[in-house]
Structure 1
Amino acid sequence: MTLIFAHRGYSHLYPENTMKAFIEAERVGADGLELDVQLTKDGEIVVIHDEKVDRTTNGKGFIKDFTFKDLRKLDASYNKKTFLHKEPIPALNEVLEWMTTNQVICNIELKNGVIPYKGLEEKVIALIQSYGLTERVILSSFNHYSLVYCYRLAPEIETAPLFSEGLYMPWVYAQSIGAKSMHPKYTVAPNELIRASLDYGISVRPYTVNKEKDMQRLFTAECSALITDDPAKALRIRK
């Protein structure tokens, strides 16, 4: 069965990358979550997609220039105008703590392609291990050097390269960097690529799949999972 991962949580209806979006994704029945991590000025792992806070909060500036305490004062539900409650930017440990109360799988994307956060891999891995969640976490990144480093640090945690352009025989590439899966943009994941990868023992979880016809194709192709902003819609279609 193709699993359903909620992209930045249930971001179709709730503020992306917030505890509210994660809790609601699990409540509607998503099998997993996808979220993004970066480091604050004082080395705290926070869950947010952009390198700057401008788009998703009422603040301005780079995450790397904020202390965790100051970052927590911002409202991460800022651009969901219909949302009445303030939502803080979560720390990764809050999400992992909550995961100990349920069974969701979590795809943590390391956002270290633009800003090479020093120590991000070590910190994230240490936290996953401290909660005993190595079996329920997948580490992904567009920075494949970072994934190789993660694999060397903790070969027991699954890694998945992200890519948005067509790769030739990506299952061979994935295997060459120690990855057990890959997360291609859905437009560069034709059915034959999915089938060949699965035959090779490499899981395929395309992102970000929001249209019904694309979901139907991927369910029919029996890809390992799909990553979507609207898990409730994907669940309806999967049924």
Structure 2
Amino acid sequence: MKNLMKGSFLCLLVFTLSAAVSAQESFLHNGVTAHRGNSSEFPENSMPAFVSALELGVDWIELDVFLSADGKVVVTHDKNLKRVSGVDMEIAAHTFDEISAVDITWDFRNRHQLSLKDSPKLTVPLLEDVLKLIVSQPKTRLSIQPKMDCVDEVFELIEKYQAAAWVGFNDANLDLMKKVKSNNSAVSVFWDRLPDTDIEKDIETARAFGFEALVIHYSGITAEKVRKVKEGGMEIGAWTVNDIGVMESLLELGVQRIYTDYPRELLKVKEVN
């Protein structure tokens, strides 16, 4: 019986590793990151926004995570749900059950002048649910932005769903990004930088810790910065770009990755270019 169980475990391990390798070989590489999912057409950081981004064929989806009071890794951008829901609720002070009672479609519905029928209630997703969605397909990966120190908790979920091949991390917080690499050096880190960043210092730091990319606010992108980052052996990205003209200009400069709320439009721009 022990040998049978050991054999079953080894078969499962081989299957999981084979699936991860197959996924790595089939991942898209089109340079389009759907910022908080397809957040121009669906409420940001919602399951429909993530599903839509997958259907569009972006190569990365970006989302943000916090820990709830009961230790759940929840997907939302702000530490308080007031902006998206109209309800003054601090994530860290409430359980996931309490958070789940809040409608995160409120702001989207109001901005787009939609009825409740047109835009039904949605609740804050768990990262766990998004990971299950991501590992179910072989094309798109997930970039996780920890808005607090929850890197260890995120990696517990990554390991649970054998999702390491499907994920990366992005944030400006150097300590958190270093922590990602200490958990798993093979997981990609996209280090977010402000427009007035000291590019030479940032390249030196990023190379020292094995980061794969620098992602600079689009207003600070120059041809010189693009050249230096590439010469440093890293990818250069821009956040967050929603103007088509700016998208085109950045692509002309050689920017390899663009974070956008409008992934459908960026994909069209890249087809033309």
Do Structure 1 and Structure 2 share a fold, with TM-score over 0.5? yes
Q: Which position in structure 1 is the counterpart of 2:126?
A: 91
Superposed, 1:25-44 pairs within 5 Å as 25-44=53-72
Superposed, 1:6-17 pairs within 5 Å as 6-17=34-45
Q: String of CA shifts for 1:35-57, please: whole Å, max 9, x gaps.
A: 10000001100000001010011
Tell me by how many angstroms 1:207 deviates: 0.6
Q: Which position in structure 2 is the counterpart of 1:182?
A: 214
CA contact (8 A) 2:134 2:166 kept: no
3-state SS of the aligned residue for 2:122? coil
Tell me by how many angstroms 1:2 deviates: 4.7
Superposed, 1:121-132 pairs within 5 Å as 121-132=151-162
Larger helix proportion, structure 1 or 2? 2
Q: Which position in structure 1 is the counterpart of 2:146?
A: 110
Tell me the TM-score normalised to structure 2 length: 0.81
3-state SS of the aligned residue for 1:97? helix
Q: String of CA shifts for 1:89-133, please: whole Å, max 9, x gaps.
A: 000010000012222111111112xxxx4xx11111121222222
**RMSD of aligned residue pairs (Cα, Å):** 1.5
3-state SS of the aligned residue for 1:176? helix
CA contact (8 A) 2:84 2:107 kept: yes
Tell me by how many angstroms 1:199 deviates: 2.3
Query: Which of 69, 80, 97 is the equivalent residue of 2:97?
Result: 69
Q: Distance in 2 between matches of 1:218 and 1:131?
A: 36
* Letter of the structure 1 residue corresponding to residue 127 of structure 2: L
3-state SS of the aligned residue for 2:266? helix
Q: Which position in structure 2 is the counterpart of 1:173?
A: 205
Tell me by how many angstroms 1:22 deviates: 0.7
3-state SS of the aligned residue for 2:84? coil
Tell me by how many angstroms 1:29 deviates: 2.2
Q: String of CA shifts for 1:60-114, please: whole Å, max 9, x gaps.
A: 12100110111111111111122521111000010000012222111111112xx
Q: String of CA shifts for 1:117-153, please: whole Å, max 9, x gaps.
A: 4xx1111112122222222211112211111122112
Unpaired stretches in structure 1, ≥5 consecutive residues: none
CA contact (8 A) 1:189 1:206 kept: yes
Q: Which position in structure 2 is the counterpart of 1:78?
A: 106
CA contact (8 A) 2:37 2:63 kept: yes
CA contact (8 A) 2:195 2:218 kept: no
CA contact (8 A) 2:144 2:170 kept: yes
Match status 1:57 vs 2:85? yes
3-state SS of the aligned residue for 2:34? strand
Instruction: Compare CA radii of gyration and give the structure with the larger one.
Output: 2
CA contact (8 A) 2:85 2:106 kept: yes
Match status 1:224 vs 2:234? no
* Letter of the structure 1 residue corresponding to residue 124 of structure 2: I
Unpaired stretches in structure 2, ≥5 consecutive residues: 1-28
Q: Which position in structure 1 is the counterpart of 2:17?
A: none
- The structure-2 alpha-carbon separation of the partners of 1:189 and 1:133, relative to structure 1 and needing over 3 Å to count, comes to farther
* Letter of the structure 1 residue corresponding to residue 260 of structure 2: T
* Letter of the structure 2 residue corresponding to residue 142 of structure 1: A
Q: Which position in structure 1 is the counterpart of 2:3?
A: none
Percent same amino acid at aligned positions? 25
Question: Between Structure 1 and Structure 2, how many residues are aligned?
Answer: 233
Q: Distance in 1 between matches of 2:204 and 2:256?
A: 17
Tell me by how many angstroms 1:178 deviates: 2.7
Kindly report structure 1 stretches of 4+ aligned residues shifted beyond 3 Å: none
Q: Distance in 2 between matches of 1:183 and 1:104?
A: 19
For CA contacts below 8 A with separation 6 or more, give which structure has more relative contact order: 1
